Amino acid sequence: DAGVIQSPRHEVTEMGQEVTLRCKPISGHDYLFWYRQTMMRGLELLIYFNNNVPIDDSGMPEDRFSAKMPNASFSTLKIQPSEPRDSAVYFCASSPGQNFYGYTFGSGTRLTVV
């Protein structure tokens, strides 16, 4: 398996623009997670899905952020409009649901909003 695949690896955008981050989880993993990592706040869980259904979005910082999972092999995290304070590394992770497996993380998308 190729692991969790995220795209793009790097994104630079201007303030006010829409940004879409993409994630392909490991086949057969029923859970998908979106995290944000910054120096100031560390690793934050934004939202997670089970069988394509959003279960907990309490970590989504504000209405400018939205996430979808239209099928088992694809998820998006969208920021509209983007702001400089959204600059961070965004990680996607997936899990088969048995807790002792832990999560498998993608390589992340480094977002810079100027």
Task: Output the smallest distance, CB 82 to another protein, in A.
Answer: 22
Stretch that binds another protein, among 14-22, 63-71, 75-83, 101-109 (CB under 8 A): 101-109
Contact between 87 and another protein by CB under 8 A: the answer reads: no
| The three-state (H, E, C) secondary structure of the chain, written as one string | CCCCEEECCEEEECCCCCEEEEEECCCCCCEEEEEEEECCCEEEEEEEEECCEEEECCCCCCCCEEEEEEECCEEEEEECCCCHHHCEEEEEEEECCCHHHCCEECCCEEEEEC
49-68 positions binding another protein, by CB under 8 A: 50, 56
Contacts with another protein by CB under 8 A: the residue count is 20
Task: Output the smallest distance, CB 56 to another protein, in A.
Answer: 8
Stretch that binds another protein, among 38-46, 60-68, 69-77, 80-88 (CB under 8 A): 38-46
Contact between 74 and another protein by CB under 8 A: the answer reads: no
Contact between 99 and another protein by CB under 8 A: the answer reads: yes
HSE value, Cβ hemisphere, 13 Å, CA-based, for 15? 4
Contact between 108 and another protein by CB under 8 A: the answer reads: yes
Structure tokens at 55: 């279960």
